[in-house]
Amino acid sequence: MTFAIWALIIGALLTTMALSGTSLKRLPLSTAMLYLAAGYGLGPAGWALMAPDPLHYSVILERVAEVAVLVSLFAVGLKLGLPLSDKGWRLPVRLVVVSMTITVALIAVIAMLGLGFSLGAAILLGAILAPTDPVLASDIQVVEASDRDRLRFSLTAEGGLNDGAAFPFVMLGLGLLGLHDMGTGGWRWLAVDVLWAIAGGLLIGGALGTLIGRLVVYLRSRHQESVGFDEFLALGLIALAYGLALLSHTYGFLAVFAAGLALQRVKEQPGRESNPAVREMGLQSREAHEALATDSAYASAYMMQAVRGFNEQLERIAEVAIVLVVGAMLSYTYLHASAVWFVLLLLLVVRPVSVWLGLLGAPVSRDQRKLISWFGIRGIGSIYYLMYAINHGLPCSLAQEIIALTLTMVAVSIVLHGVSVTPLMNLSARRKERRGAR
């Protein structure tokens, strides 16, 4: 009976989203808001069909969040088509390096002075809440690799980079709590957890994405081999990059992001004239798809389209699963009323201040700066780091406080950003058009 009920609920939810997806884009609502409400209703506060106690199921929850983040980071990498030499990369890099560091520092100070946290616990909380989310930010991300919109590109690239770049701060917080070996004077943390883990993760992911992408395109365009199974290619590259990065003591999140970024940049130079079959056959026929996949002029583009399409479907499924769980976990939060100010302070002060300082002198308009300041969406990355910290021995009392703050922050972010994303982005587009018409 339980399985039948679950089948009915999930079927109704997915069918409803499929039928109403287009309408939701025009409304001040997001799919994540609906998943969150559904999860809350399915949790202990509602029908009690889900009871994902974050302290008892932290290992499983960490793995679920981990998979969701990996799929999303790979998808983000596939979307960013701006050349690495382009100046457009300077904004997201500054947001990740400068703004996120300031965010961690400000949260840590607030947690120490206002919540009575120790230095290690405060830095850990800052690291958990600092990264913006690539899973829940689909409405403000670039849609295609050719998208050059500065606002969308900056927010998309920031979400892809900072989910991995937050790891050094997590390890620092755990180290100060005595739960991670930082070495004498912190040398191991600086050398391994910061320098090697970041650089090595990006290098491993970039090399694998380039190597595998070029190999597939070469086999298809020159030998008409390795056609099909693009789904396996996406999953295989994610697994290879993540596994090798972890075995090399580097950050797997950065490796997967870099793998998607590198795969997207693989281009085949046509070695012959385009196959006439590509132009003559109907695109719905199997022969036409095989002709596109093996044509030297289209092989890389076809591979990217197939991989990106499959990965986007995985990303949506991961969003459903993890946000339902977050909604159900809200029943386990016990946030004191006196700490509500902390969440509002993070949204209304910490994010704007960190963005303003990080983008000092940057070539961004006032509207772009305001929107970047507001759309610091918190989500699945924060859930992963929370579970990661719990599984590394976080004391129960401290864990309960951080769970309450993190889940509340994520839920508030989903609701406020979900309500505001459509009207604010539409307003920005209209103002941009009016300025262009002048």
The number of angstroms, rounded, from the C-alpha of 428 to the middle of its chain's C-alpha atoms is 23
pLDDT (average), residues 422-434 = 76
Residue 303 has pLDDT above 80, yes or no: no
Q: Bigger pLDDT: 362 or 197? A: 197
Min mean pLDDT across 5-14, 113-122, 174-183 is at: 5-14
Give the residue numbers spanning the domain of 294: 2-437
- The predicted structure's pLDDT at residue 218: 79
pLDDT tens track for 228-263: 677 888 899 999 999 999 999 999 999 999 999 998
Residue 307 has pLDDT above 90, yes or no: no
- The predicted structure's pLDDT at residue 23: 65
What are the Cα distances from residue 263, in Å, to 19, 207, 212, 256? 33, 9, 8, 11
Which tokens go with 367? 């509207």
pLDDT tens track for 137-167: 666 777 776 667 788 888 889 988 988 899 9
User: Taking all residues of the chain, what is their mean pLDDT, rounded to a whole number?
Assistant: 84
- The predicted structure's pLDDT at residue 437: 47
Residue 368 has pLDDT above 60, yes or no: yes
Q: Whose structure tokens read 């946290």?
A: 117
- The predicted structure's pLDDT at residue 297: 55
Min mean pLDDT across 209-213, 292-296, 377-381 is at: 292-296
186, amino acid identity: G
Q: Bigger pLDDT: 148 or 201? A: 201
The string of DSSP codes covering 288-318 is: HHHHHHH-TTTHHHHHHHHHHHHHHHHHHHH
Which tokens go with 262? 């590198």
- The predicted structure's pLDDT at residue 270: 47
pLDDT tens track for 397-410: 999 999 999 999 99
Cα–Cα distance for residue pair 53/328, rounded to 1 Å = 9
211, amino acid identity: L
- The predicted structure's pLDDT at residue 309: 74
Residues in Cβ contact with 100 at an 8 Å cutoff, skipping those fewer than 6 apart? 130, 131, 162, 165, 166, 354
Orientation angle between helical segments 58-79 and 380-391, nearest 10 degrees: 140
Query: Is residue 244 within 8 Å of residue 255, measured between CB atoms?
Result: yes
Residue 322 has pLDDT above 50, yes or no: yes
Q: Whose structure tokens read 């281009």?
A: 267
pLDDT tens track for 5-46: 878 888 888 787 777 666 666 666 778 888 899 999 989 888
pLDDT tens track for 85-111: 888 899 999 999 999 999 999 999 999
CA dihedral 187→192→195→196, nearest 10 degrees, is 150
The band of 273, judged by pLDDT with boundaries at 50, 70 and 90, is very low
Task: Return the CATH number at 28.
Answer: 1.20.1530.20
Handedness of CA 228, 229, 231, 235 (dihedral sign): negative
Q: Structural domain tally of the chain?
A: 1
Query: Is residue 409 within 8 Å of residue 159, measured between CB atoms?
Result: no
